[in-house]
Structure 1
Amino acid sequence: MATPLSASVVLTALRAEGVRVVEVGNWRTHNRAGHGAWGPLNGSIVHHTVTKGTASTVAMVRDGYASLPGPLCHGMIGKDGVVHMVGWGRTNHAGGGDPAVLAQVIAESYGTRPTPPTKGNANGTDGNSRFYGWECENLGDGKDPWPEAQYQAIVRVQAALCRAHGWSAKSVIGHLEWSSDKVDPRGFTMAQLRADVAERLKHPASWSPTKTAPAPEKPPAPKPTTPAPAPAPSTDDRVKALHANLLAIGEIGTTAKGTSSGRVEHGAGYFLAHILEEVRALRADVAILKKES
């Protein structure tokens, strides 16, 4: 059993756990004082809202409705993982529940889940005096998804309370585990939620699960490069080529095509054309040399 945390202390605990918090109006003093006790506290209950739309859901859980005045919880956890604090003190969230379940939560003595409740809102023990309450925005049809940001916020909120009180994750239950006439929350199991809360409690409040590092990007393919132009032949290269072509003319017809010499015959015109090209190039080289001298 524990004395309820003050509004300031719970706010500090939530933020230390990495919870994004929005303070709604006079939430620190908005409660059902005068309609029953609040405390000693034994745990925390998770609910779903059966609503869609964060703003309208916040208004509903803060103000209540005709048959059930608000606040209907202490904080509402939106789809985006933001926790909207709407009340502090006694709130209308838990209603009646099974005293046998309460005893198991106090002792933290059950296995993966408490024994199924046999009492409900009409004939059970007052849960509003014994539990913190957290409504979570969801249609409650078992199909509406629970975004990762929202689920992780639920885990962090429950871990913050357990850490502040020195409780284990077994002090966290779902409304369906408290009351025989409730089904919330739907869409995830409380056993898994408790396991995730227990894992958080092994680490400091600032801990965040390690994410898998993204695969390194492949280096960009090298851009195609234009081959560097071949260097211009030197004067010496031109003289050698001229000499080779002159020798080739003298050998025309002396070596049969396809013999072991490997030479492929060309006509005299082929070699004369190359000789003329080399002579012109040599003349240009000579002209340059004359200018430079």
Structure 2
Amino acid sequence: MVLPIYNLIWMPAVLEAAGLKVAETPGWRSRGRAEMGTVRGVMCHHTATAAPGNMPTLKTLINGRSDLPGPLAQLGLGRDGTFYVIAAGRANHAGAGYWEGIKYGNSSFIGIEAENSGLANDPWPDIQMDAYHRGVAALLAHIGADAGKCCGHKEYALPKGRKPDPSFDMPTFRSSVAAFLSGKTPEPPIPAKDEQDRPTLRRGDSGALVAALQRALEIDDDGKFGPGTEKAVRAAQRKAGLVPDGIVGPKSWAALNPPLTASTSALASAPASGPAPQAQTVAMAALPVAGAASLPIADDANHPVVVRGGIAFGPGGQRFASRLSQGFYTLGLRPPPPGWGGHRRQACLVPLLALLPQHARTKADSKP
């Protein structure tokens, strides 16, 4: 049997281009009640589930309930800000309602179910809300819609009062989405470094600070922040009562507090810009900007393009990932892949590899 491929297959690329974490569920391209109609907006929900974990309702969103077959949304949003891609076709998420001239919700709105109980004792993590704003803005921009085409289920559903989700204030939410759509650059939810100048680390980073982190986590200290390190970070964050987002920012550094050697201390206290250290092993160093012309144009003096801790933020608030493979700064291992970057905007930083002496460059290139 040949399964259909539905139209919303563009969603992961759009979300990734906005700097968001994306996880695709098996079979999502062929999952849906039917094909979507003309996509006119995005509808926000919360799952109303109090179960622990990052996205405990994922299976239910895929398979549905006894009274409502799945999929129940096109996207799920975990507490750590990860978007789970569930379906490229129509989903049973809207029901009867009306918003901005739209009365057929399932065929007109992309549905996002964000993991939250909706209760007063279940606050929304900053990393999740930031991803919600950025993700909705990216989807609306792709379909050519403004922030007014983002609604909450509680606003759309009829009769009024039929649905309470999402629990946050929708006008305030739309204002944040509108800021992204207009090219503003809100502060990232996690600072680029802590008070000891230790940079925020995430999957894809590598180097001496990652190795120090791994030793604090009591795992293999290969210096590469991969899936295993991210899993260990999440576990440590849960134990410390932090949001288990797998990102080591100031709060996680304080909870883990690994001892720093002289070399890792030097890396942690490196200036935010300027020439990279001349050494055979270079990692987590910030790079000089290649030049104003290579960065996206700023909106105005209050919303410039910025580089924090080696991560570039465009005027639209996009967080460009700091991994070498995405071309923004390099750990001195190998040059960016040929032809990378033609499909999305990028902020170019000088490759660190070019700043190394030749013998160090040769040694770095020999690594897998």
Asked if these proteins are the same fold (TM beyond 0.5), I'd say yes
Matching of residue 40 in structure 1 with residue 23 in structure 2: no
Structure 1 residue 213: Cα displacement: 8.1
Q: How does 1:1-293 map to 2 (within 5 A)?
A: 6-33=7-34, 38-51=36-49, 52=51, 53-98=53-98, 101-103=99-101, 125-179=103-157, 180=160, 181-186=162-167, 188-203=168-183, 209=187
Match of 2:178, SS state, is: helix
Instruction: Name the SS for the 1:93 alignment partner.
Output: coil
Q: Answer yes or no: is the 8 Å Cα contact 2:54–2:115 preserved in 1.
A: yes
SS at 1:83 equivalent: strand
CA distance in 2, matches of 1:42, 1:165: 7
CA, structure 1 residues 145+29, in 2 after alignment: closer, same or farther (shift >3 Å)?
same
Instruction: Give yes or no for contact 2:42–2:110 (8 Å, CA) kept in 1.
Output: yes
Question: Structure 1, unaligned stretches of length 5 or more?
Answer: 107-124, 218-293
Q: Distance in 1 between matches of 2:149 and 2:113?
A: 17
Distance 1:216 1:30 in 2: 46
Measure the CA separation in 1 of the matches of 2:163 and 2:9: 31
Letter in 2 for 1:69: P
Whole-Å separation in 2 of the counterparts to 1:161 and 1:147: 21
The SS at the match of 1:56 is coil
Deviation of 1:96 (Å)? 0.8
Question: Computing the radius of gyration over CA atoms, which structure comes out larger, 1 or 2?
Answer: 1
The alpha-carbon deviation at position 6 of structure 1 amounts to: 3.7
Distance 1:185 1:144 in 2: 12
- Counterpart-to-counterpart distance in 2, 1:81 and 1:165: 22
Change (3 A) 1:56 1:202: same
Identity of aligned residues (%): 37
Separation in structure 2 between the aligned mates of residue 87 and residue 77 of structure 1, nearest angstrom = 13
Whole-Å Cα distance in 1 between the matches of residues 8 and 36 of structure 2? 14
Q: Distance in 2 between matches of 1:26 and 1:197?
A: 30
Q: Which runs of 5 or more structure 2 residues have no equivalent in the other structure?
A: 1-5, 197-368
Taking structure 2 as the reference length, the TM-score comes to 0.47
Number of the residue aligned with 1:223:
none
- Given the two structures, how large is their TM-score scaled by the length of structure 1? 0.58
Once the two structures are superposed, residues 169-223 of structure 1 have per-residue CA deviations (whole angstroms, 9 ceiling, x without a partner) of: 111000000012111001x21111111111111228xx66368787977xxxxxx
Cα RMSD of the aligned pairs, angstroms, is 2.5
1:76-99 CA distance string (max 9 Å, x none)? 10111111111111100001102x
* Whole-Å separation in 2 of the counterparts to 1:199 and 1:159: 9
Q: Paired residue for 1:277?
A: none
1: CA distance between counterparts of 2:24 and 2:194?
A: 40
Q: Distance in 2 between matches of 1:215 and 1:150?
A: 20
Q: Structure 1 residues 166, 144: CA separation in 2 closer, same or farther (over 3 Å shift)?
A: same
Distance 1:215 1:20, change over 3 A: closer
Deviation at 1:41, TM superposition (A): 2.0
Instruction: Return the letter of the residue paired with 1:39.
Output: G
The one-letter amino acid of 1:145's match is P
- Residues in 1 aligned to 2:116 and 2:55: alpha-carbon distance in whole angstroms: 13
Instruction: Give distance in 1, aligned partners of 2:36 and 2:8.
Output: 14
AA partner of residue 62 (structure 2): R
Distance 1:93 1:215, change over 3 A: closer
The one-letter code matched in structure 2 to 1:166 is G
- Taking the aligned partners of 2:16 and 2:113, their CA distance within structure 1 comes to 18
Give the paired residue count: 186
Give the direction of change, closer, same or farther, for the CA distance of 1:55–1:154 in structure 2 (3 Å limit): closer
Q: Which amino acid aligns with 1:182?
A: K
Q: Quote how far apart the aligned CAs of 1:50 are.
A: 1.0
Letter in 1 for 2:33: R
| Greater displacement, 173-182 / 160-169 | 160-169
Q: What SS class does the counterpart of residue 96 from structure 1 fall into?
A: coil
Return closer, same or farther for 1:91/1:8 CA change in 2, 3 Å cut-off: closer
**How far apart, in 1, do the equivalents of 2:33 and 2:67 lie?**
14
